[in-house]
Amino acid sequence: MKKKSRKLTICATARRQFLIGASTIAVTACVDPRVLYAQEKRTRIILLGTKGGPTLTTRTGRSNASTLLLINDVPYVVDCGYGVSRQLINSGVSLDRLRYIFITHDHSDHDLEYGALLYNSWTTRQSPRVDAYGPIGLRRMTRNFFNYMKFDIDTRIVDEGIGDPRRQVTVHEFNRSGLVMQNQDVKVTSLRVRHPPITQSYAYRFDAKDRAVVISGDTAYAPELARFAKGADVLIHEAMYLPALEKLIQQNPAAKRLREHLLVSHTSTEDVGRIAAQAGVKTLVLTHFVPGDDASITDEQWIEGVRKNFAGSIVVGKDLMEI
C-alpha cells in the first residue's frame, strides 16, 4: 500500500543519515552533503612556504615550498622545503600530529627538509606513524636520510629508550599519474606535469567531502593540468613573473641560462590564468613565486598577468595564510 506522505527526496550521499527519521519527516529539498559534513572538521588549507627556488631569504618573508591541508583535522603536508617543521608548528600543528607527506618532485626547494621533518616528529616521542607518498626515488631518499643520521638515531634509541624512527614511516612510490591513496576522508590522485629536466614531477588533487583542492607542483604550462583540476574549488599554482626575470638578465648576463631553464619548466602568470580559466576553478591561489626573493614585486603585479585570462577569485599566497 502506498504511503500518503509526500515523497522523500534526498541525495544519495545523505540518504543513510535520514532513513532513521524517514517515517516522521518529509524532506522535499535535496540535502547538501556539506551540511552533514559540517559535523566533521572542514577542510583547511594553510600555505606553509610560498617561495620558489632553493635560496633562503628574509627579504620577502617567504619560506621554501610547502602546503598544508587539514582534512577532518588530519594534516596532509605537500612538499617539505627547508623550514617546513617550524612552519607546521607556527601554523598550530604540533609535530606529533604528522601523518601524511606528499612530495611533488625531487628538487631541494620541495624536499630538503623531508627527512628532517620525519626526524623532528620522531623526537616528539609520540612516534606517529607516517605515510609518505612521492615519485620513484623517495624510498632511496628516505633510506639515505636515516643512514645519514644513523649514529645519532642508534644512540638515542639506547640512551633514551625510544622507538626506531625507521619503523614509523612507510614510503609509497609511484611513477605515473593516477590514484595515490584513499581513505574515509579523502581521495588523492596525481598527474605527471612538465618540469624538465625532471621527468617525475607531479601535481596532486585532493578530493575531500567538502572541498576539492589541486596543487600544481612545479610545472611549465600544461593544458592537461587544467583537465586534472576541472571543477576543483581551489587551484594552488606556481607562478613566475617574467618582467622580473628580464631585470635579472640585465643585471647579470650569466643569468641567461637560468632564464632559459625557468622558461621551459615553470608557468608565467598569464599562463597560470589560462589554466585556472580552462579548469573553471572558483579560487586560484598563487604560490611558489619565481623569483621568490624580489620584495619589489607587488601583489598587483603578480595578479596583473593572471587577470588577463582568469575572471575568478585570485589569492596572492603568503606564508601561514589560510584559504
How crowded is the C-beta side of 2, counted as CA atoms within 13 Å?
5
User: Among 214, 188, 187, which Cα is nearest to 203's?
Assistant: 214
- Residue 167 CB, shortest distance to Zn ion, in Å, is 31
Work out the end-to-end distance of the chain between its first and last CA atoms, rounded to an integer number of angstroms: 52
Please say whether the beta carbons of 118 and 88 come within 8 A. no
- Residue 220 CB, shortest distance to Zn ion, in Å, is 11
254, amino acid identity = A
Cell of 315: 589569492
User: Among 256, 276, 258, which Cα is nearest to 266's?
Assistant: 258
Calpha distance 280→277 (Å, rounded) = 5
Calpha distance 138→276 (Å, rounded) = 30
- Residue 110 CB, shortest distance to Zn ion, in Å, is 6
**The binder of Zn ion chosen from 10, 46, 85, 107 (CB under 5 A):** 107
Please say whether the beta carbons of 80 and 111 come within 8 A. yes
Stretch that binds Zn ion, among 84-92, 215-223, 270-278, 279-287 (CB under 5 A): 215-223
Q: Nearer to Zn ion by C-beta: 211 or 288?
A: 288
**The binder of Zn ion chosen from 106, 210, 218, 271 (CB under 5 A):** 218
**The binder of Zn ion chosen from 109, 210, 271, 319 (CB under 5 A):** 109
Which residues, numbered 50-89, are part of the site for Zn ion (CB under 5 A)?
52
User: Among 167, 93, 176, 95, which Cα is nearest to 134's?
Assistant: 176
Q: Nearer to Zn ion by C-beta: 107 or 211?
A: 107
Residues 6 or more apart whose CB falls under 8 angstroms from that of 208 comprise 43, 69, 71, 72, 185, 186
Stretch that binds Zn ion, among 68-76, 137-145, 218-226, 302-310 (CB under 5 A): 218-226
Residues 6 or more apart whose CB falls under 8 angstroms from that of 75 comprise 68, 69, 88, 93, 97, 98, 99, 100
Q: Nearer to Zn ion by C-beta: 52 or 305?
A: 52
Q: Nearer to Zn ion by C-beta: 185 or 218?
A: 218
Q: Nearer to Zn ion by C-beta: 51 or 274?
A: 51
Binding mask 143-172 for Zn ion (x = CB under 5 A): ------------------------------
Strands 100-102 and 130-135: parallel
Stretch that binds Zn ion, among 99-107, 143-151, 205-213, 239-247 (CB under 5 A): 99-107
CB atoms within 10 A of CB 3: 8
Q: Nearer to Zn ion by C-beta: 210 or 218?
A: 218
Q: Nearer to Zn ion by C-beta: 18 or 221?
A: 221
- 210 lies in the site for Zn ion, by CB under 5 A: no
Which residues, numbered 178-207, are part of the site for Zn ion (CB under 5 A)?
none
Residues that bind Zn ion (CB under 5 A): 52, 107, 109, 218
